[in-house]
Structure 1
Amino acid sequence: MDFPDETISYIYDPQSNKALLFEKRGDGIVFLDISTWVHVKVEVIADKMSVYVEDMNIPTFVVDNLKRDSKKGGISLFSTFGQVYFSDVSIREIESFNAPKQRDTEKMISPNYLTKWQISEPFAKDSVNFISQVDSLFDYREKFKTVTADMDGLLNISRFYDDMDKTVALTCNIVSDSDKDVKLNFDYADHLVILLNSEVLFDGGMNFRPPLEKGMEGRVFVDDEQTVLNLSKGPNKLIFVLSGDNRQKYNWGCVAKLENLDGISIE
């Protein structure tokens, strides 16, 4: 049973994939018939999406920054909650609108965030010998490409690759004016290994069941994890070995920032 803050709750039977909805009213409850038509409108302008349910004038929710790049394709209608019917579907182009200005990631967030990375092609991670496996990737640096995090600092790997069962290596150089320690705040999905100058600093995974404090979605927040970077004077190679999980659709990414940039630059 689920009792969210809203008045409508439900009892779900996973074996039959059916749900019984009820609403709290006064001192009792009223069972609801879910076999009813619902009017929905989705409006997409540039990278902003507004979703309207029943009220076609006020959006139910708005997504200000769609995480996937624009490309041509088809429209798919489906439900993850059992059998549904679709009727009177129409698609039309919005002829004129004021396109939002191009967002500049570096101006939207603190410069402490690590936003520029070199990313490898996806590979099948060897759980035993992955360090030597990652080292061998750097013999083919021409296969790496430069990627930039989103405006909130999140590096969404599913934006670049579709195979969620694979692993990628992300690298950047942190240049320090002296030997010093600096805290790195970060978070990730689904499994992450952090190496600094070939030394493993962190090795952890969500294992499909994220920690309770992260919620069922396994959301990524930059202050959830911390480690200390023991920087040497000069360039330091930071590597994130990040694995996805095809069961967690599109949940493949990371976010990271340094506690301070005193005497530090990021390449």
Structure 2
Amino acid sequence: MLRHKSFFICSLLICSFNLRAQNTLTDWQAFSENNEPVTLTEQTYKEKKCVKLDGKKETIVINKNKNYRDFRIEFDIAAKVMAGVGFHVKNEQNYQFLYFRPGYGGTQEAIQYIPIYNGGLSWVLYHYPIHEAKTDIMAMEWFHAAIEVRNKIMRVFVNNKKEADMTLTLLDTDTQNGNILLRTMFGEAYFANVSIQEIPESLTDWSISEQLPRDRTYDYTEVKKNRSWTKIDQKNDEMVNLKRYFEYPNGTVFAKRTIASETDKPQLLYFDFTGKLQIFLNGKEVFNYAKYKLDRLNNYENCIVLDMKKGENELTFIIEGDAFVFGKGFNSMGRLQHQNWGFVAALAEKTR
């Protein structure tokens, strides 16, 4: 049994995979303001190798290699008027757009988010305090930006700040994923050191058992015997919060889902949880933490390799919440129960 397993598995695997995709000019297609294809060339601006968009002959570059749903893009940018990143690109007229106004650095108009519907840049409809934000940037001076999109939440970081300059929920468009583009308007812009890191999509669709007593240990044979399963899928919450589903949350639950694989291959499972957790793949135990854990959840706190088989694979969690912290349970208006009971999980490809 893998009892008392360390929570630093990810650090042991970090050298064996890399989600980051460095981009070169060959990865991008450039278009003029009249939507005509053009050729990009690498330049140097203020001692930094980069790509220049002049806002007329070159106004948009699109990376069509891959569609992204959740991701983090980082880049250096120097711009004159308005420049930024489009994502979830359906076509050149429909996408999400986050851009900077360097000439308005230090004001509430320095960062702007707009959904582009049918080509419209509707900046008078979407503005401060939700869709605009303040940050310190200057026209035609380099600054670093990072844009992170996860589960429809976008966060924008300027110059490597730990706290986001902007955080908001994306407005609905026709697509939840798509290409990424760089764009400038009304003046030139320079982009350098562009990198895109895909964020694995959280697994929100599971089947869960009825609540079982928490004062005992379970194994996979009892999972196979269970006949009562309830399907759950809260797509707007990447955390599987088990208290949603039980009026009196105080026990242990089995959670399972099927994962299809086209070939025999390893995949990475990122996860975090409260309480105790056992993980099984196709009936084989691959993780077991028998002590109690009560920390703020982090999507990438733990990472293990799953050896997927061609066809359907069954992933199973056996999880107990945090009632132990309070002895027999937290006193919630006269009853003893869990306060925190749940997990977060995501799959990613193991690239090497």
With the length of structure 2 as denominator, give the TM-score of the two structures.
0.38
| Higher strand fraction (1 or 2) | 2
- After TM superposition, the score normalised by the length of structure 1 is 0.49
